[in-house]
Structures are given as structure tokens and as C-alpha cells.
Structure 1
């Protein structure tokens, strides 16, 4: 007997090429069957998904999850249940000195999968920036040893390469990060932003399968010039480098993404979700998916960019509804229309679809609602963001109801008899 049967939804699974009405059966936390019609009598529980999208659990390739220990960290448990993300990749929050802490406090307790990219700096992202200012903290041998101890947790290497993080050291932190990635035989993810170093400086260190994140940022002047990708960007495209959106709070520009799409650059769609971007304009992965579609990606390409493609980029067993795979499943309502979306510079495009998550299953188990904590004191919020946060907390408080009438209960409380205890 199956534990769960999702019936009648539009199943889109780019890994298998499936797009059509189908039932999805789950047994023992794994996908047991996917077919146009499966017998409900064989399931312990049946859920009607008619009119909804049934997708593989989403994979967010770029997040920051070490809440309570780093400047950027947020609690993913408060987001996963309402966004469909069942595989989270922490992009460099922890380096060699603290990776075990990330495992114990975030990855192991999570009801979904958490993987990590190890920061080439042993400090990780405990501060807002500057982790590469002291080169003694970029100990490649120590990072190799720590990654070897962590097994499946560490899936690659992360380095932020911009003038704020590297200071006077130029590309030396990047050189060490590339060396670490080659020794681990894992991909290198490089953050770009305010240069120098610029894209031409970064290019020689990236090999096929490495990841360039913030690929649609508007602050790196050598990505797109006069509406056309630069030669350096085109060489990276042709070399097999993976482009990652990494929206964040300051790294997404519609003009840049549209120029890249026109030039055949097809990015993985990720949020760079952290304690600042979660309040906007990134918010969550379904929101960023809407922005990708507003820039010209269709629904099928966008779903692939948040499921099978990021999973393959890091060699993860995720992003698929193949029989035998872990039963990570995301269910969405889909509304057609024209929905305004905004980039970090105030540019506006209309998304043709709006996706609203209605259920998220991790290993076949429904993730339950979990309230978000208040933002830490160092997060700068606009007046509108602060009002929205105050309203959110007021709604949570108002949702607590007390029933105190006899008719509110199926059976009246019996009157006591005999001695009271």
C-alpha cells in the first residue's frame, strides 16, 4: 500500500520530460509510481491536486542559512513549508573553522535537505564582508581536511570576489578557492559584484561546471555593455560554466538578464536568500521564478532551472520525480495574468504567471507551518518593510483563538462527582 497519493495534478518533471495530468504515489519516503491514473484504493491517504501543479521539490542553489551565528543567516524552516523548497544549499556561510557547527545546528535538525559550499575563508560569513582580508584565514589544507570529515554536506566551494571582500589581495583569494575546489573535485562558486576584480580577472580561474553567481547583477560593469554580453561573459558561456541568478538584495537587473537570455545564457534560478533579501525584493524562490518568467523564461525552462539543473550542477539526488527518488514534492496553484515584479534598481516587468505554494512534502512528509522570527537588530528595514513585519506579527497573534462556549465542544464537560482532587 502507498502512504500518499497525489491525484489529478499537472505533473511537470523536467528530469523525465513529463508534463501532463498524472497521479504521484509515495511509499516509505520515496516516489513509488507516477502514471496517468493510479488506484486510490491502494493509498492510505489521498490528496486531490486537480488544477494544481505538482513539481519536484525545488532546489535553491544559493542561500544563507546559519542563523544565530552569522550576519546573513536566516532560518529556512520558516520558509520551506510555504515555498516548495526541499533542498537548500548554503553558499559559504561557514568555512573550515565552523562547518561542523553548520551541520549540527542547521543541516541535521532540518526536516528537509541542506547542503553547503565551504567558504575558502575559515571565517565564513560571520561578518557583513571582509572575510578575505587576512590571508592566513584562507588555509586550503585545513578546508580540505574539514570537507573530508563532512561527507555529503559539502558539495562545493564558495568565494566572494569583489573589492570589499578581497581588500588589497586582488585575485589571491580566488586562486586559493580554485585550488581548494580542484583538490576537492567539487565546483567552485564565485560571487561577483563591485570590482575590481572584474569578470576578466575571474574568468581564468573558472572551469567547466564551475558556477558564476550574481550573473544578472547590474553593478558589475563588464557583464553586459550597451545591451550586449561582453566577450568575457561569452567565453564563460561557451566553456560550460554554470550561470546562477543569485538575486539577493542587490544583484538582479532585468536589463542584464534579458540581454543574457537573448545571447543564449540560461541561468539557474536561485534566491541568494538571506536575512536582508527575505524582506524583499527577493522574498523567496517562487517570487524569483516569477521574475525569471517576466524576463522571458517560459514555465518549463524556469522549473528546470529550480529543480534538475541546480541538482545536476552539484551532483545532488534531488529535483526529480523519478520512481525510487526521494519523495520531495512541491504543489502550487498557478494563476495566469500580468503580475508586476521588480528588480533591485526599481525596474518593473510583468510576470505572466503567479505561483503560490499550497503544500511541500519532504521525503513524503508534509512540512507544517512555522512562524518566522523577527529580524535581527542589524537588518535595515524601510518604513514599508517595517510596517509589513509589524502587520505579519499582528496577524500571527490574531490567529490564536480561544473557544469558551459549551457549544464549541462536541461533548460538554461532565460535572464532577465525589471528592475533588
Structure 2
């Protein structure tokens, strides 16, 4: 069997063994193949990855990529592929009204792989923010169209992972709803037998109370925010209920964003062994490729490396864990033979770098991950001449 692409001389990151393996990766069509069944000497294209680390294509589990359909969304191919990202989960940019457009215009036409959460708000995040530029979504449960939400979930079960709610005081403050949006969304998710992704910043209730309503594979987004009720108790310890929730399978996603990351919260949590299950960006037009607070998934990953997380813990949080939640374990997030040929070739640059949180606090690091080449579905979609 002749190879279409051979990647040689790189260190392949093995998340199962927590080690680097010096081996080649072969690609035929859109799949990774077992080199024992292939003729590596006859590859059509050879990429010499000497000095590089070969990774599964990265997955950004929380971003806003309804490009052209919402005011905040970015083009997933533009922001993802040059940065080693071959998979995205859109975090509720669309509701049932505009989800068909999102699926047709973005999901079906993008090079990157994509899954999504469906916003319980009818039009999702079509516009966002106060003042003359937009308005915050209406999360009044009285406006939830349960029939249409159920229908959209049913007809798009291959793509939609669950329901999305933004639950914070800036949205609900001063509103007199007959029922609480969070409780109503939890009840709806259970009724429809689906999962939740909840934006929890400055919530109306403390974290150790809210967390009891989350089930395994429900996602607590922005877990290291520092606005209002956070995951730390008054003594600076991660709430016991939060730790217990992670142990029973609740997913904690850092979902960085420009307004949802606090070094104090994150550092205290990491010191206590509470690591994010998922590392993601919350990319929008405001922060994508623009600020040191987010910039790209590789930039956010590099921050956690400099905060003390191991390379392999960081890697699992952008490959194997999101792949499982996307119901694509074994197909993406891995370099095993038979998987889709989604691959990132990166270098660990040993240079000074500065990271900044929401409050403007900065820390200095000494290394960062830099992308050199990206393959998506067996195609070279980004490559530098020299690595």
C-alpha cells in the first residue's frame, strides 16, 4: 500500500503512555494507517518533523463559529487550521430558529469537524452585549419553545450534543421570571434526555448549590472565572461538592474568553489538584488572534503548561476528552491507525511569553507551543516551509 503522506522523525505524543514515541505516521486517503501494511519508501509526500511533536488534531470544545450568522462568531477554518485545530464545538451560538442555517452554512461547508450545543434561547446569540451594538439574550423560560427545541434535537442528533444556557446575573438581573432559567433548562434537558452546557459566571446561586443539578457529561463552562460565585469557598479551597461532581463525571471546561479567567482562582484550583477536564478558548471576534488573554487554543494550552499542568494532561483536555464528548472517540483526538488523519505538528519554543487574565494580572512563562503544520481529513491545510 502506497502512502499519500508520511510524517517522519517527529516525537509522537502518546496520551495513554504519557510518553513521546519516535515513530512515523502514515496517511492514506483521509485515514491514519498501520505502517506495517504500507510501503513508507513510496510516500507521495514526506514531511520531516525532526525537532517537532506530532499531535492529534486539536479540538476547541467551546467557541463561537456561526460565522456570518451572529455578531460575535469567527470563521472556524481561519482561526483553527493555522493553529493546529481541526475540530470545534460551537457553544450555543444558534437556537432552534437559526440552527438550520448554521448547519447548512457553517457545519456543512467548513473544513474543520464540528459539533454544537443548541441554545435554549430561540435565536441563540444572534447579537450580544448592551448599548447600541446589541442586546443580551432573553432567557425567560416562558419563551422556550419546547416543541421546536425537541424537534431540532431529534432531527440533528448526529450533531447537537445538548442544550446551552448562559446563566449569570448580567442577563437575569432585574428580571421577574416565573421560573428560574437554570432550573427550567435542567428540567428540559432531563425531559429530552440530553446533556447541558452551562455558562456559569456570577451565577444567582453559589457553585456548591448549583453543582448538584449537573449530571455526568454535563459541562460547567468557565470554571476558573473570578466574577461573583466561583468554585472556591471562602477559605480558598475548591468546594467539596465541586470536587465530588468532577469525580462523578461532570465536565469542567475552562472556556477562557476575555472575561472568564482569573489567575487566582485557577492557580488555587491547580495547586489542589483540580484540573480542567477540557481546555478551550471561547473564541469570538473580540478575542480571536487579538489579545494575550486568549488569542488561540495553543496560546491557552501554553498558559496551563506554564502554570504547572503536565503536557499530557493538557493534551488530553484538547483531544481525548472532547473527542469522547463529541461521540467520536477513536476517530478524532488520536493518532491510532484507522482514525481520521487530523494531525498537528508543533514545536515547543523555549522563549519568554506573557499571559494575562480578565483583571489584567499577568504572569511570565518560558515556553509556548507553536504550530508548524496541520492536516485535516488527510489534507495538508497549513504548513510552514521551515519548521
| Alpha-carbon contact 1:191-1:214 (below 8 Å) kept | yes
Secondary structure in 2 matching 1:236: helix
Residue 148 of structure 2: aligned partner = 142
Over 3 Å counting, the alpha-carbon distance change for 1:118 and 1:291 in structure 2 is same
1:379-394 equivalent positions in 2, closer than 5 A: none
Residue 288 of structure 1: aligned partner = 300
Q: 1:194 aligns with which of 184, 202, 206?
A: 202
Instruction: Give CA deviations for 1:266-287 in whole Å, capped at 9, x if unaligned.
Output: 2111001111121222011000
Task: List gaps (5 residues or longer) in structure 1.
Answer: 370-421
Alignment pair present for 1:246 and 2:260: no
Moved more, 45-54 or 134-143: 134-143
| Alpha-carbon contact 1:311-1:319 (below 8 Å) kept | yes
Secondary structure in 2 matching 1:229: coil
Q: Find the aligned partners of 1:171 and 1:364 in 2 and give their Cα distance.
A: 49
Q: In the TM superposition, what is the alpha-carbon distance from 1:179 to its structure 2 partner?
A: 3.1
Instruction: Give CA deviations for 1:107-139 in whole Å, capped at 9, x if unaligned.
Output: 111012011011111220012153234434322
| Alpha-carbon contact 1:56-1:328 (below 8 Å) kept | yes
Instruction: Give CA deviations for 1:240-294 in whole Å, capped at 9, x if unaligned.
Output: 2111000001111121112112223221110011111212220110000011112
Instruction: Give CA deviations for 1:30-68 in whole Å, capped at 9, x if unaligned.
Output: 010268x98531312111111111100001110001122
Q: Find the aligned partners of 1:142 and 1:108 in 2 and give their Cα distance.
A: 22
Alignment pair present for 1:273 and 2:274: no
Residue 209 of structure 1: aligned partner = 217
Q: Find the aligned partners of 1:89 and 1:234 in 2 and give their Cα distance.
A: 25
Equivalent residues, number? 368
| Alpha-carbon contact 2:64-2:93 (below 8 Å) kept | yes
Alignment pair present for 1:347 and 2:355: no
| Alpha-carbon contact 2:224-2:261 (below 8 Å) kept | yes
Moved more, 157-166 or 233-242: 233-242
Q: In the TM superposition, what is the alpha-carbon distance from 1:336 to its structure 2 partner?
A: 2.3
Q: Find the aligned partners of 1:153 and 1:305 in 2 and give their Cα distance.
A: 20
Q: In the TM superposition, what is the alpha-carbon distance from 1:350 to its structure 2 partner?
A: 3.0
Residue 6 of structure 2: aligned partner = 5
Over 3 Å counting, the alpha-carbon distance change for 1:277 and 1:170 in structure 2 is farther
Q: 1:334 aligns with which of 332, 348, 368?
A: 348
1:5-404 equivalent positions in 2, closer than 5 A: 5-15=6-16, 19-33=20-34, 40-128=40-128, 130-167=136-173, 168=175, 169=177, 172-224=180-232, 225-267=234-276, 268-278=278-288, 279-280=290-291, 281-316=293-328, 317-368=331-382
| Alpha-carbon contact 2:81-2:112 (below 8 Å) kept | no
Q: In the TM superposition, what is the alpha-carbon distance from 1:307 to its structure 2 partner?
A: 0.7
| Alpha-carbon contact 1:216-1:245 (below 8 Å) kept | yes
Over 3 Å counting, the alpha-carbon distance change for 1:197 and 1:132 in structure 2 is farther
Q: In the TM superposition, what is the alpha-carbon distance from 1:367 to its structure 2 partner?
A: 1.4
Q: Find the aligned partners of 2:178 and 2:197 in 1 and give their Cα distance.
A: 17
Task: List gaps (5 residues or longer) in structure 2.
Answer: 130-135
TM-score (norm 1): 0.82
Q: Find the aligned partners of 1:337 and 1:65 in 2 and give their Cα distance.
A: 31
Residue 372 of structure 1: aligned partner = none
Q: Find the aligned partners of 1:208 and 1:174 in 2 and give their Cα distance.
A: 17
Over 3 Å counting, the alpha-carbon distance change for 1:242 and 1:134 in structure 2 is closer
| RMSD between aligned residues | 2.2
Q: Find the aligned partners of 2:167 and 2:178 in 1 and give their Cα distance.
A: 8
Q: Find the aligned partners of 1:177 and 1:42 in 2 and give their Cα distance.
A: 55
Q: In the TM superposition, what is the alpha-carbon distance from 1:81 to its structure 2 partner?
A: 2.2
Moved more, 327-336 or 54-63: 327-336
Instruction: Give CA deviations for 1:118-162 in whole Å, capped at 9, x if unaligned.
Output: 111122001215323443432233212112112321122211111
Instruction: Give CA deviations for 1:8-33 in whole Å, capped at 9, x if unaligned.
Output: 10111315756211100011100102
Over 3 Å counting, the alpha-carbon distance change for 1:185 and 1:54 in structure 2 is farther
TM-score (norm 2): 0.88
Secondary structure in 1 matching 2:182: helix
Q: Find the aligned partners of 1:339 and 1:349 in 2 and give their Cα distance.
A: 9
